[in-house]
Amino acid sequence: MDSLVQKPAPDFKTDALIGEEFKAISLTDFRGKWLCLFFYPLDFTFVCPTEITAFNDAYRNFKEANCELVGCSVDSKFSHLAWAKTPRKEGGIGKLSFPLLADVTKKIGSAYGVLLPEAGITLRGLFLVNPQGVVQYQVVHDLGIGRNVEEVLRVLKALQEVAKTGEVCPANWTPGKKTMKPDPDKSKEYFQAV
């Protein structure tokens, strides 16, 4: 799989579940904002609802960071709706604050390099796309491993800090911590301070 980082995010247009309604959405709908596009294998499974509800619970944090959330699987919009109407205590996801794309043709998962063609499902891929439509970050997990939403937010804020200041974020950086000037001499300010 080739990395999409520093490349334009592959375009898409498909039906999505938004709340309890269906609407066609495309990548261009998110221009001017950061986008967190994440893929998950299937509706009505085990790890997937824990991730989706964790993203939904953190939705306000993404919005405050000018970032839209979008989930995607190979399931139909009707399957998404049935899952959203299933209570969380029964493995459902409840009503979400962000769209779930219906990638029934599997073209989106394929374009992002996360489709498992023989299984007909996607790996747990996550892509952070900047307001200009360029992928800044990607991570792909195997099927049985859930993502850490707080880490996704940390990486998003680090990318935004670099874009805003031109400085770089050292290992384990969190918002409010010192950044570093990407210069052999000026970077010493950081090293001397820590």
Domain boundaries, the chain: 13-147
Segment 103-127 mean pLDDT: 97
β-pair partners for 127: 37, 138
**Residue 193 pLDDT grade (very low, low, confident, very high; cuts 50, 70, 90):** confident
Closest residue by Cα to residue 7 from 142, 130, 91: 130
The verdict on pTM exceeding 0.85 is yes
pLDDT in tens, 47-97: 999 999 999 999 999 999 999 999 999 999 999 999 999 999 999 999 999
CATH fold of 13-147:
Glutaredoxin (3.40.30)
Structure tokens, 129: 């796309």
Q: Would you call 36 a catalytic residue per the annotation? A: no
Instruction: Identify each DSSP E strand in the chain by its residue range.
Output: 13-18, 21-26, 34-39, 67-73, 100-102, 115-116, 121-122, 124-129, 135-141
* Mean pLDDT for all residues in the chain: 96
Structure tokens, 116: 């498992």
CA distances from 23 to 10, 40, 53, 106 (A): 20, 20, 21, 18
Catalytic-role residue among 48, 67, 72, 169: 48
pLDDT at 175 over 90: yes
* The pLDDT value given to residue 1: 62
Structure tokens, 27: 């990548």
